[in-house]
Structure 1
Amino acid sequence: MVRMMEKQSLAFLAVSTALAVLAVSLTAVVLSENRLMQNENITTTGEDVLTVTGYAQVTVTPDQLTILFTVEERAPTPAEALARLTTASQNVVSTLLKQGLKPEEVKTVGLNIYPEYVYREGQPPQIVGYIASYTIEAKTGKIGEAGSLIEAAVNAGADYVSGLYFSLSTERQREVYRQLLSAAVSDAEIKANAILTPLGLKTVRVKSVSVSESMPTPVARAAPVQSEAGGPPIMPGTATVSVSVNIVYAIGPR
C-alpha cells in the first residue's frame, strides 16, 4: 500500500514537472514571438536628399546718382539766419528743377539752426551769431550730366556737396535680381545633375529653396567719365551683384 502511494506521488511529481517545463517552454516561445513582432514593427522611413548651392553674379554700372547739397547762412539772430537761408535754399532748389530734375527727385533731408561760439582763454564761450543750414537731396538717372548739375547748384548758392553716391534704380535692381535668380537656379541644377548622373541617380522633386542676395552700394573706381555739359568729372564705377540659392532635392534612381 505504501509502495503504491509512493509510485502515485512520483508519477504526480513527474507530471507536474513536465507541465511546469512545458509552461516555461510556451512562455519562452511567446516571448520570442513578441520580440520578433516588435522587431518587424521597427522600420526606418526617410527620403534621400541632395543639397546644392547655385551661384550667380554680374558686374553692373550704376544708373542712379544721389547728391547732397548743403546751404549755410550766418546772421546775428536765429530769425535773420533763417530768412537768409530760406532765400538761398529756394534759389538752389529752383536751379535744380531748371536743370531738368523732377520735383519728386529733390527733397529736404536736413534743416538746422544753432549758435556760433567764440572761445577765448580764461573766458566762457560767447555767442557771436547763428548758423542756419539746409541740406537738399537730388537724385538723377542722368549721370552724364551730374557735373553740370553740381556746378549749377554751387553757382546758385550751395556751399558744399555733403554727399555723393551711386546706386541702382529700383527698376534696374528688379531686372538684375530676376536674371541672377534664374542663373543661380540653373547653376544648382547643373551641379545636381553632375553629381547624380555618375551615381545612377536623378532629382525627383524640390523639397525646399532659400535665397541669399548681395547688392552693395557701388564704389567709384573706374576711369573718370567727363560730364556731357561741363563741370567736374564724375566716376560712376561698377559694382558686383550676386545671388545664391540653396536647393534641397529629393533624389532617386534613374
Structure 2
Amino acid sequence: MLRIAATRLLLAASLAAGSLAMTSAHARTGDPPAVPADGTLLSVSARAEASRVPDVASLSTGVVTQAADANAALKANSAQMAKVVAAIRAAGIAERDIQTSGISVHPQYRYGDNQPPTITGYQASNTVSIKVRDIARLGEVLDALVASGANQVNGPSFEIDRPEAVYDEARRDALELARARAEMYAKSLGMRVRRIVSISEGGGLQPPVPMMKAMAMDARMESAPVAPGETTLSASLDVVFELGN
C-alpha cells in the first residue's frame, strides 16, 4: 500500500510539472518573435494624409427672444421656433438630421453703482443642430432659416459622411512610406528588409482638418455663398521591421 501511494504521489507531481511547463510555453506564445542572431529590428514611424471634398455640412441654428416675463419669452420663442423647424423640414432635411441641442430661459439684469442687480426681463433661446447632406443646397438652406425667423446661425462645419475609406487610403500611404524608409536604412547598412514584425497605429487617427479652397460663385446667385473646400484625414503608423543580410 505504501509503494502504491508513493507511486501515485510521484505521478501527480510529474503531471503537475508537465502542466506547468505547458502553461509556461503557452504564455510565451504571446511574446514578440525572437530575432535571429544575424538580424536587427528597426522601428519606423510614418504619417500620411488623404483628402476629399466633404459631403456633409453640420450647423446649429435657433431663435432668441426677449419679453417682460419668462412665460411670455418662452411662448414667443416656441412660436417662432416652430416656423424655423418647419422651414428646416421644407428644405428637405431628414428628421434624423434634426436634433434639439439646447433650450434655456434666463433673466436679464440691469446693474447700477452700489445697487443690487435688477431683473429687467427674460431671454429665451432654442437651438437645433442640423446636417445638410446636399452641400450644393447649403446656401439655400441658410437663407430659408433666416427668412423663417432664425436669428442665430453657427457654422457650418464640413465633414466626410463615411470617412473609413479615406482613412484606409492614408493608412496604405503611411505603410508605403514606412517601408520605403526601412528599405533606405537597410540599404545604407548593407542589409535587406526581411519582414514586418509588427504594425500599430501610433497616436490613433487624426481628426479632420478643413482645407478651404476658393470656389467661383455665380454672381447671379442670391443664396449665401458657401465654399466647402477639402477635408483632410490622416493616419500614423509605428512599424517594426526585421533587417538582415
TM over 0.5: yes
Which residues of structure 2 form unaligned runs of 5+?
1-35
The one-letter amino acid of 2:166's match is V
Q: 1:64 aligns to what?
A: 56
Which residues of structure 1 form unaligned runs of 5+?
1-44
Q: 1:246 aligns to what?
A: 238
Q: Which residue, 82, 85, 92 being the options, matches 1:100? A: 92
Higher helix share: 1
User: Is 1:231 matched up with 2:223?
Assistant: yes
Q: 1:113 aligns to what?
A: 105
The one-letter amino acid of 2:108's match is E
Given the superposition, is the C-alpha separation of residues 199 and 79 from structure 1 closer, same or farther in structure 2, using an over 3 Å criterion? Answer: same
Q: Secondary structure at the match of 1:144?
A: helix
User: Is 1:191 matched up with 2:210?
Assistant: no
Q: 1:128 aligns to what?
A: 120
Q: Secondary structure at the match of 1:195?
A: helix
The one-letter amino acid of 2:167's match is Y
Given the superposition, is the C-alpha separation of residues 148 and 225 from structure 1 closer, same or farther in structure 2, using an over 3 Å criterion? Answer: farther
Given the superposition, is the C-alpha separation of residues 60 and 136 from structure 1 closer, same or farther in structure 2, using an over 3 Å criterion? Answer: same
Displacement of 1:192 in angstroms is: 1.9
Whose Rg is larger? 1
Q: CA RMSD in A?
A: 2.6
Q: 1:175 aligns to what?
A: 165
The one-letter amino acid of 1:223's match is A
Q: 2:21 aligns to what?
A: none
Q: How many residues align?
A: 207
Q: 1:30 aligns to what?
A: none
Q: 1:222 aligns to what?
A: 213
Displacement of 1:224 in angstroms is: 4.4
Higher strand share: 2
User: Is 1:140 matched up with 2:132?
Assistant: yes
Residues 124-167 of structure 1: CA distance to partner in whole angstroms, max 9, x if unpaired? 32222211101111111222211110110111110121332222
Work out the CA distance in 2 between the residues paired with 1:225 and 1:111.
38
